[in-house]
Amino acid sequence: MNELQPERVRDDFAAWLSVVKTYALCEKALARSLAPLHLSVPKNDVLMNIARRPGLTQQQLADRLLVARSNVSMLLRDLERDGLVSRRPCATDGRVKELFLTDEGEALVARSRPLQQAVVSHMLGVCSPAEIQQMSEVMGRVAQSLRELLEDQSAA
């Protein structure tokens, strides 16, 4: 196994720390933007995903959000109680419930989507289109590497 040079370890750590800090700052800015709607970032993520893919199951939603199904269950319970999400039996498997936005949920997404887009636009406004493309490609490779690590860890 190759030993990493101290400079490489330092550079790797600095890059990782940059990603972590940027994610934390983005999450904080988004939370502040959504606060007037009384909407948390995790609840907004759930609503946005259901808006993009009506009829998702709870497991599909958890997979998309990269969280445990139990975490999604608690969020869905609250969103359903608030009249923003409904669960309907799947036409092909009655044991499975599909997720849909209610009219109130759609209205809230219509208000939260531009707030989220404003944060993303502000965050990436300092980058050129080429830099955004490059960043997307690099982070795609990084994400794939992490998926492979998780698969290896699951197999072990």
Give the model's confidence band at 7: pLDDT under 50 very low, under 70 low, under 90 confident, else very high. confident
Share of the chain above pLDDT 90, in %: 83
Q: What are phi and psi of 12, to 5 degrees?
A: -60, -45
Alpha-carbon distance 92 to 96, whole Å? 9
**pLDDT (tens digit, 9 = 90+) per residue, 9-65?**
888 999 999 999 999 999 999 999 999 999 999 999 999 999 999 999 999 999 999
Alpha-carbon distance 112 to 129, whole Å? 25
CATH number for 6-125 (one of 3.40.50.2300, 1.10.10.10, 2.170.120.12, 3.40.50.1860): it is 1.10.10.10
At 17 the three-state DSSP class reads helix
Check the CA dihedral 63-69-74-78 and report its sign: positive
- Enumerate the domain spans of the chain: 6-125
